[in-house]
Amino acid sequence: MEKIIQWLKQFYQAMLNFLHIGNKVDDPEPMSFPVLKLLLFLSVANGIILIASNLAALKIWNAWGIPVDAGIWLFPLSYVVGDLLVDIYGEKVSNLVAVYCSLFALIVAAVMYFAKVALPGFPGVDNSAFDIVQSATGRIFLASVAGFLISQLTNNRIFASMRRNDIQNEVSDEGDFHRREIISSAIARILDSLVFETLAFWGRVSPSDFITQALFAYIAGLALEFVLSFGVKHIAINLRWRLCYTDGKNEL
């Protein structure tokens, strides 16, 4: 029994290190209250964006003849928030936020499913609409959580690696935020599209429409983030200067 417990502990720690949130990764330096307050705000924002985009994705709208889920207008914000997190707090904290948001979304989906099964319907009330939404929401939640977690971890790893490389090569850290943000998102979005679009919409539309939809969602989401990134760059620079906190380290 002790060997099994020890193996489970080792497996758990290996999973944490694989997610880059384990003890092999340096913890962030102590945070002042303004730094902690911003972390709480960005973490809550990421969770709300994830759930809101899931609900919006239930709507399939006609984008110039292409069937596209409405969540593509919200989900790019998660990349923006994720880039701010990894830029200010470092990869370990930003990955931890992504993991917690994913677990919270899974818990919400499980509670909704439990409520559907366990709670008795009121006589004379038609709950068929709830059943339809719930059945679709379960699939959307699972697809979105998987896509969100994989893409966020990938985005954070690429962003952090590019930043370390820029610092080693004495490249302007502030000037290249925009480049790191776009490249990391462009690569991470490929994984997100493969996972989310396949799990959420395969079988709901024809194969040709599915491919067109996935390509449109990738290009539209990346284009929207590209536009937002110009403002995010200045926000990130201003926040780092005001908070004196960058990449999980105090800069006093």
Give residue-wise pLDDT tens across range 215-232: 888 888 888 888 887 777
Report, as an integer, the average pLDDT of 222-248: 84
The domain total for the chain is 1
Mean pLDDT is highest, among 23-32, 139-148, 175-184, for 23-32
Give residue-wise pLDDT tens across range 12-42: 888 888 888 888 888 899 999 999 999 999 9
How confident is the model at residue 154, as a pLDDT?
A: 92
How confident is the model at residue 173, as a pLDDT?
A: 56
Query: At residue 83, does pLDDT exceed 80?
Result: yes
How confident is the model at residue 33, as a pLDDT?
A: 94
User: Concatenated DSSP letters for the chain?
Assistant: -HHHHHHHHHHHHHHHHHTT-STTSPPPPP--HHHHHHHHHHHHHHHHHHHHHHHHTT-EEEETTEEEEGGGGTTHHHHHHHHHHHHHHHHHHHHHHHHHHHHHHHHHHHHHHHHHHHSPPPTT---HHHHHHHHHHHHHHHHHHHHHHHHHHHHHHHHHHHHHHHHHTT--TTTTHHHHHHHHHHHHHHHHIIIIIHHHHBTTB-HHHHHHHHHHHHHHHHHHHHHHHHHHHHHHHHHHHHHTEETTEE--
Domain range enclosing 50: 2-250
Give residue-wise pLDDT tens across range 85-114: 998 999 999 999 999 888 887 777 777 777
How confident is the model at residue 47, as a pLDDT?
A: 87
